[in-house]
Amino acid sequence: MGAYAAAASDEWCAADAPVDVADATAEYTLRVLGKTLFGIETDDRREAVRAGAHAIRERSSDAPGAVAVPEWLPTPSNRRYRRGISQLESVIDALLDKQESAADGDDLLSLLQAATGPDGPSEDEIRSQLATFLFAGHETSATALTWALYEIGRRPDVARRLAAEVDEVVTGEYATLDDLPALGYTDRFLRETLRRYPPAAAIFRETDAAVRIGGYRMPADTFVVIPQFHVHTDDRWWDDPYRFDPSRWESTEETDSDRPEYAYFPFEGGPRHCIGMRFARLELKIALATFVHRCRVDHDVDEVGVDVGSTVRPATEIDARISRRSPTETP
């Protein structure tokens, strides 16, 4: 994670033109995902995975009426969706072929393949897991990093405080696991990023039994949508909720005693919380600390709109000027 973050920083700083932040962070998170979970370099598969991610996101952002149209109808939306999913499936085919021809490994794909048997996953289940990890495993982290770099570029005060902490703690080319406990403000900055811009817009559940919530009766088998984006900006739980303010996480546990546990749930909650939660938190903190340690981020985008689909992305492209900075240089 750290080595790839340093390499990405170098590529961004060497660019002759402003960098599309969403595209650049997606390239970074996909490289990390490919290496750590599948033992591969993803550079030659990037466009196919991104096409699949775009197809999934576009479909999940469609109006309910559009989604209800049968997939076999050749509507423009359905055709785009099938093209994108076909490209994603081609990557999955290549991953499965690679694993079958390689020696046993300790990456996620090898472990899934080794678990096949009477009680293990079927091939279809493995394919489904790979699709999930390829999409969610890089799209959500990239979205969080996009919003983080957006706020750094528009908040010099926050950028200065982040840089001061990171430069004091990080002594090598990139942040490491040993650095993370000392990066308190960096952690609060990321917590606020995930509150204000939760990468996953909502989670979906189904009631096992009849239940009454907030005065509403829901029978068993009711489909329920729980929207992080709206709960995280509800003024019942958050003061001035649309203001980006990492200092709100400096308050003590006693101060927040009247806030419900699930007023903040960027990675969902309960036994079915996001399986990649710890992976993502580690990646986000190492990547952000490394980027801040090595780069200055400038852009002219302010008060960008929010595009809420399967993920919460900026409504407009954020092109940033990213340049090299030394640890002694003020951002």
Name all domains of the chain by residue range, CATH numbers in brackets.
2-324 (1.10.630.10)
Q: Per-residue pLDDT tens for 225-244?
A: 889 989 999 999 999 999 99
Pairwise CA distance, residues 248 & 254, whole Å: 13
Predicted confidence (pLDDT) at residue 102 exceeds the cutoff of 60: no
Predicted confidence (pLDDT) at residue 204 exceeds the cutoff of 60: yes
Task: Identify the band that residue 331 occupies on the pLDDT scale cut at 50, 70 and 90.
Answer: low
SS3 state of residue 211: strand
Residue 330 confidence (pLDDT): 60
Pairwise CA distance, residues 180 & 41, whole Å: 26
Pairwise CA distance, residues 29 & 145, whole Å: 9
Predicted confidence (pLDDT) at residue 266 exceeds the cutoff of 70: yes
Between 25-29, 79-83, 177-181, 295-299, the lowest mean confidence (pLDDT) is in: 79-83
Q: Per-residue pLDDT tens for 113-135?
A: 777 677 778 888 888 888 888 77
pTM: 0.87
